[in-house]
Structure 1
């Protein structure tokens, strides 16, 4: 198999880290030149990544170097946050990373973007998977590149040829209420859910779930919604965060509008549910792919990983345990992209796992 990864840490953001990551990965893949390289750099490189990109291209003896900077990056070997590092996945043999304009067979597009580059028209074009490069607020330093140079559009879209692939999002949520029909809403304000005002519905769901006097934690609660109750129960839903609750009129302001006629449930973000959902996603993808995967890409929210699991990335551990020694590359970002029910979605607090097997 001519795909491999490597991650190299250092004290400074030096181009040599990128060159060493590529060299190490090529040695593992037993190749002397690469068809393409996916290069991830930590945010210490973001203000001026070109020297590191050039060093990676020189080490790989190819000009197709694509990737981004991010707050944290990882491979199957290790993860890193708050330390200068470079991670690379090299492609050799019949497997290539190609520009979207050559995507004549309409393969799903690997998509990496800065928050400022996102728009719904572009997102809806072609089936996509990937992540948003950026810090936890979406305001920090980040950059994207392809063709071994920075991309001024703020996003890249490519496809991997010579493979079969399967992709799935893991939301990591535990439903704390049954799906109810949205009876009244106005723009971002959810007003009535089923027979109850929105805030009353949420409080009743929390009280029933916890059965204690523990106060409701709005920052851990998500609203999940879909066209039907069945879709929610199957995990095929969209999700959004709570902005505020208005006790006076009983409405809840959400980050995205949920129109009348949709079904909505309240859900809780917690580590146990996230780990279980990650395992389910990995097992489901293995079945869908039909073969043992040769490599994988994982896009994880910065709000998950070590920050969710008390200093460990148990999402990463689930994948590496399920697929031992499989080359894996990914980053912690500010949103994840996946196609759900035929529509591309920008997801919060999720992971998106893609597995690939050579044709």
Structure 2
């Protein structure tokens, strides 16, 4: 994983990695930044690599040959991301290539070559894994039924205008600002039982495009549906930190008494050190729980992981994968 570089330099780097490793089972991508258990890099060139050995192997495979029992390391560019590619029975886990400014070039590679399709699938064999995501937003309301919509606009939540509900839910210090920071506020659409959806992380975030004073509606990035249960939420560093710790604790519980052999961590560039005040609190929490465990990852333009049994493109989130080597089967 490499911060944004020229495509020619990336090709040379991929070939150098293949020569150094003595194999072509190599996947990677460019990112806004990289991280390991020792350091993160956002503002200068760098590279991070994880080398697997023994019975842990990387297998490149087309997504058409995957089953619902597979967990697939998935890397793609914004142009390579599509609903058909994302929506498969296998569990996807990974990130979308990105940079600090969103201009590109965005690149993924497999073996010693840049992949023109902009997407790579790989299975890590010989491991058991736990995949989890931390969305970590601060809920400002409980889930409310979407009562009236028009295209991408929410007109009414329950019996009240959507904008009125949002304004009343804002913390006093935010409500009194000259300009409300809409880039920090979003709607959360619950999945399944709305009573427990927020606590259990079963929701997808829908970002605000505009607040319309004339009709008190709110325009969202994704078309809302009448009958959805939506809560207003706000990005908050303290809430995100707490949610990540809970995510790690839940993942560790699923792992039982085992310590992972390595971890992959994919935070959004909008939830990196700049969000947490020049510290990567997500990585700090993971290192505190598993000191000495190798960690590698990148800050991307979107995070891929399972949500309520389906593959999902997360935003402003962190996706975590814990992996440990499984014992090879003894032939009788």
With the length of structure 2 as denominator, give the TM-score of the two structures.
Answer: 0.92
Q: Hey, what's the Cα distance between the residues in 2 that align with 1:199 and 1:46?
A: 45
Q: Which moved more, 1:314-323 or 1:221-230?
A: 221-230
Q: Which moved more, 1:135-144 or 1:277-286?
A: 135-144
Tell which has more relative contact order, 1 or 2 (C-alpha 8 A, sep 6+): 2
Identify unmatched segments of 5+ residues in structure 1: 1-39
1:94 matched to 2:55? The reply is yes
1:113 matched to 2:79? The reply is no
Counting matched residue pairs gives 319
Look up the match of 1:151: 115
Look up the match of 2:194: 229
Look up the match of 2:322: 355
Cα 1:211–1:333, aligned 2, differ >3 Å: closer, same or farther?
closer
2:245 to 264, 274, 279: 279
1:233-244 map, 5 Å? 233-244=199-210
Q: Hey, what's the Cα distance between the residues in 1 that align with 2:169 and 2:8?
A: 46
Look up the match of 1:50: 11
Q: Answer whether contact 2:68 2:91 (CA < 8 A) is retained.
A: no
Q: Hey, what's the Cα distance between the residues in 2 that align with 1:239 and 1:212?
A: 21
1:168 matched to 2:119? The reply is no
Identify unmatched segments of 5+ residues in structure 2: 327-332
Look up the match of 1:296: 263
Q: Secondary structure at the match of 1:62?
A: coil
1:187-206 map, 5 Å? 187-206=151-170
Q: Secondary structure at the match of 1:94?
A: coil
Q: Secondary structure at the match of 2:48?
A: strand
Q: Hey, what's the Cα distance between the residues in 2 that align with 1:182 and 1:169?
A: 26
CA deviation map 1:87-118 (0-9, x unaligned): 11000000011123464673111111100111
Q: Hey, what's the Cα distance between the residues in 1 that align with 2:7 and 2:275?
A: 25
Cα 1:49–1:354, aligned 2, differ >3 Å: closer, same or farther?
same
CA RMSD of aligned residues (A): 1.7
